[in-house]
Amino acid sequence: MRLGFVRSYRLAVVSAALLAASCNDNPVSFDTKDTSRLEINPTTMVIPGGRTTKLEVRPVNAGRQPTFADVAWTVTNCGDAASIDVAVDPDQLELQPPGLLIVTANTQLGSNCVDVTGGGVTGAVDVVVTAEAVAIDSAPTVLRAGETGTVYPRIITADSTTMTPFELSHVVFTSDNEDVATIDATGFVETETAGAALLTATWLPDSVGVDLSGAPPRAGSAALEVVANVPDSAFLDVGVAFGAFAVPDSADGEVIVLDEFGNVNQNPAEILDIFAVSDAPATATVDAEIRQTEDPLTGEISARAVMRVQIVGTGVANISGTVTTSEGVFDWGPALAVGADPQIAAVTPATGGFAESVTITGSGFVDGFTTVFVRRVDTGVNYDLGNFTVDNLTTITAQMPTWTVPGAFEITADVGGIVSATSATWTQTNTFDESATEDNSFWNTGGQADISVPALIDGSLIGEPDDGLFGKMADWLFFTISGGTRTLAYENTPLGTEDMEYAVIDGGFNFIWCTDDHTGPGSPDGGECVLPGLGEPIDGETSTGTWWLIPQEWGNVDTTYRLTITMAED
């Protein structure tokens, strides 16, 4: 036993000697309690909002041994309005060196700086707070073709709290099937045809405007089903009327079938039949059919409800009908088809004074579509006759114009843009005389809402007017109106280069300038005057007033003018 003890003792001494020799051979000597540096892991972090990450800050000596120095930290925002929380890791054991920390990201995107110290040594950690995910708060799930909707996204933390800053410009919207649905930069969805589409909002950190280095994009999606539209209504594509056509002629039309969103439906499985009828077959007849066509590029078959209207006589025909679809029967129309073949045979009497009442006979006159033109033969001046009534297809009653000198007029008719091939002549035989009150009077006793005299004065201002404002007395129009008429509207067509305004003076020499709505040099003046001196009718009686209408010449006194007057009841 002694030998064993001596051997063990010797081995212990040798081991101690070897250890002493090893320490003494290290050329570097230091105090193990001095902190040489901080070992930080990790030095950069990207943390989604609402998430936590462990951070280890370990003070060590020159031999990389823990010094057990206390660790402190300070959080700054590194220039961005970001936010994190830093705390001691609650799972850290008392026997472990200090510096085990927990970093929690909050709701503000951006870059944070964590400054750490321990044992007199400092270090830094960069922490970027990013989004956990993109949430789609609202998005259409089922739409009919042609219907629209909107996708509303936001970026969120791990517990679905909204993160900021966020704008739609930070997101790119896409549809994986744009034939079915498209989506624009604001999330607005437009559907095209039946099918399925996945609508995606992708958040791009680079577009936010704060430092999010290392943060990945996030995306959220919503599935959309687009169902086929169904017929809901029908209308004739030419609107309220085919229009006027010469006899004989034809016109084509199509009945458009719409779904509830206003989209055109041409599905041959849903557009089944069409019926069309004319209420005046002596004027127009109609044929209709469902016509199927094939797209040469796609091979798709479409159905169209088409018709052809044949104009066979003068007059007005109402074209209407129904279209049968898979959803039921829909009415369309009526649409007017006008057969136009106007002819002028005679004007009776063929001569007379201005404002003469005459009868124009002929054929093809259609009420609501007819315009009567009067052309002064000696000057070639042509204008619409204001006061006439289409009595029937063969008769028009009219009041002839007023000119300052006698002359012949050529009378023609226009029906829907088709001018009569024949005309008749009416001649004014009397000369305008401002002193002949009775002969120059125009009477409105019919109680109509809109009366055209029509009073047309064609004359010239020659030489300097005596008072520098008004034309010669021969250019003054003296007229009388009896009835409820209150307003005189006028249009001046300059035959020279100057425009004119007009004044109205009543029997008591009450004076008023007509309102001017002149639109530019050389263009016609127009306006209206509330006639002075005319009392309101009482108990259905008429009021009578007498006025002078005076042209005012604004420039060159050698001005030729034409004035058309319309009387309108208030």
pLDDT of amino acid 430: 76
Best CA proximity match to 317, nearest among 366, 389, 255: 366
pLDDT of amino acid 558: 45
Residue 539's Cβ-count burial label (10 Å; 0-12, 13-18, 19+) is: exposed
Spatial separation of the C-alpha atoms in residues 400 and 292, rounded to whole Å? 56
pTM of structure: 0.48
List per-residue pLDDT tens for the chain, 570 residues long.
333 333 333 334 333 333 444 444 455 567 888 999 999 999 999 999 999 999 999 999 998 999 999 999 999 877 666 689 999 999 888 888 899 999 999 999 999 999 999 999 999 999 999 999 999 999 999 998 888 999 999 999 999 999 999 999 999 999 999 999 999 999 999 998 889 999 999 999 999 988 899 999 999 999 999 988 788 888 887 666 688 899 999 999 999 998 877 788 888 988 999 999 999 999 999 999 999 999 888 888 999 999 999 999 999 999 999 999 988 899 998 998 999 999 999 999 999 876 678 999 999 999 888 989 888 888 777 777 767 889 999 999 987 876 656 789 899 999 988 999 999 999 988 765 444 333 333 333 332 223 334 444 444 333 333 444 444 433 445 444 544 445 555 555 544 444 556 666 665 666 665 655 443 333 344 556 655 555 554 444 444 555 565 655 444 444 444 455 554 443
Spatial separation of the C-alpha atoms in residues 420 and 411, rounded to whole Å? 10
Q: Order of strands, edge to edge, in the sheet holding 284-294?
A: 233-236, 249-258, 301-311, 284-294
The CA–CA distances, whole Å, from 143 to 146, 195, 226 equal 8, 10, 5
Query: In degrees rounded to 5, what are phi and psi of residue 394?
Result: -120, -5
The CA–CA distances, whole Å, from 229 to 194, 237, 257, 262, 436 equal 8, 20, 11, 10, 74
Q: Which helix (H) or strand (E) holds 2?
A: helix 2-24
Spatial separation of the C-alpha atoms in residues 256 and 262, rounded to whole Å? 10
pLDDT of amino acid 466: 42
Residues comprising the chain, all counted: 570
Q: Which residues contact 488 (CB under 8 A, 6 or more apart)?
A: 504, 514, 528, 529, 531, 549, 565, 566, 567, 568
Question: Do residues 67 and 83 make contact, with C-beta atoms less than 8 angstroms apart?
Answer: no
Q: How many CA atoms lie less than 13 Å away from 316 in the CB half-sphere?
A: 17
Q: Give the torsion sign (CA, 361, 363, 368, 370).
A: negative
